[in-house]
């Protein structure tokens, strides 16, 4: 079925979706911003996080998935080879994903979304621990650029595509179980709450609101 999921992601507190590069920031983990200079979550990061959540769910329910990110351990086309649900949803080197993700961009609060000047960010200092010696090491000191809005910030995005009912059910279960986005999960940053509305796109282009409960049940039926 053709579908569209409208997403609202609420962040409460500091968050950072780092680019992993030094570009234009003092922080070693600078925050990604959109064309307005506002914090954003790129489509690729969101997709990666959702893929990870769906894979955990599928495995928890005893469904076999392949071993990413090593390409040769992933499902490959062949005589008997069938693609696992994660490859069918998110794609692989051999299979194009039927899903399109947009970036998650800031919608609320309005005063920020309409601001002419991007909001200030702060640097947060973290200390990496040596796994072996369990002590702080000077060379592991890092800085993370975080956004501290002092209230809830809502980012908006969309997933659309075409899936059969069961695969759409797994995607819905993944959306319902996604708890954190961005970097710094272990340091208490980046927790989020995700709300979504799911629509079936009919042949004439009109949209019908679907119940997430009904769709999720089809995954396990
Ligand atoms: Zn696979």
pLDDT in tens, 111-128: 777 766 666 676 666 655
d(CA 70, CA 93): 10
Please tell me which residue, 48 or 159, carries the higher pLDDT value. 159
**Centre of ligand 1 from the C-alpha of residue 65, in Å:** 5
**Centre of ligand 1 from the C-alpha of residue 175, in Å:** 19
Whether residue 204 is predicted with pLDDT greater than 90 in this model: the reply is yes
**Centre of ligand 1 from the C-alpha of residue 204, in Å:** 33
Whole-angstrom Cα Rg for the chain: 19
User: What pLDDT is stored for residue 148 in this prediction?
Assistant: 66
Domain boundaries, position 172: 2-220
Find the angle CA(188)-CA(175)-CA(172) to the nearest 5 degrees: 165
**Centre of ligand 1 from the C-alpha of residue 86, in Å:** 6
The angle, 0 to 180 degrees and rounded to 10, between the axes of the packed helices 43-60 and 165-177 is 110
**Centre of ligand 1 from the C-alpha of residue 178, in Å:** 20
Whether residue 209 is predicted with pLDDT greater than 90 in this model: the reply is yes
Whether residue 156 is predicted with pLDDT greater than 90 in this model: the reply is yes
Regarding beta strands 152-162 and 99-101, do their DSSP bridges make them parallel or antiparallel, or are they unpaired? antiparallel
Domain count, the chain: 1
Q: Tens digit of pLDDT for each residue in 96-112?
A: 999 999 999 988 777 77
Whether residue 163 is predicted with pLDDT greater than 60 in this model: the reply is yes
**Centre of ligand 1 from the C-alpha of residue 99, in Å:** 16
Q: Tens digit of pLDDT for each residue in 5-47?
A: 999 988 776 666 655 444 455 566 667 778 877 778 889 888 9
């Amino acid at each position: 079925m053709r579908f569209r999921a409208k997403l609202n992601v609420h962040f409460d507190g500091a968050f950072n979706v780092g680019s992993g590069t030094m570009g234009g920031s003092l922080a070693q983990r600078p925050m990604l911003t959109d064309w307005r200079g506002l914090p954003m979550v790129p489509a690729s990061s969101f997709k990666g996080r959702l893929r990870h959540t769906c894979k955990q769910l599928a495995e928890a329910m005893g469904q076999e998935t392949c071993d990413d990110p090593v390409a040769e351990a992933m499902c490959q086309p062949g005589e008997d080879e069938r693609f696992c649900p994660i490859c069918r949803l998110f794609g692989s080197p051999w299979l194009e994903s039927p899903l399109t993700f947009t970036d998650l961009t800031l919608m609320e609060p309005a005063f920020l979304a309409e601001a002419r000047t991007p909001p200030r960010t702060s640097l947060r200092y973290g200390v990496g621990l040596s796994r072996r010696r369990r002590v702080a090491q000077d060379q592991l000191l890092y800085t993370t650029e975080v956004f501290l809005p002092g209230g809830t910030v809502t980012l908006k995005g969309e997933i659309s595509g075409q899936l059969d009912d069961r695969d759409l059910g797994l995607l819905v279960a993944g959306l319902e179980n996604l708890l954190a986005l961005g970097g710094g999960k272990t340091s208490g940053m980046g927790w989020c709450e995700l709300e979504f509305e799911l629509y079936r796109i009919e042949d004439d282009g009109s949209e019908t609101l679907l119940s997430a409960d009904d769709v999720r049940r089809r995954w396990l039926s």
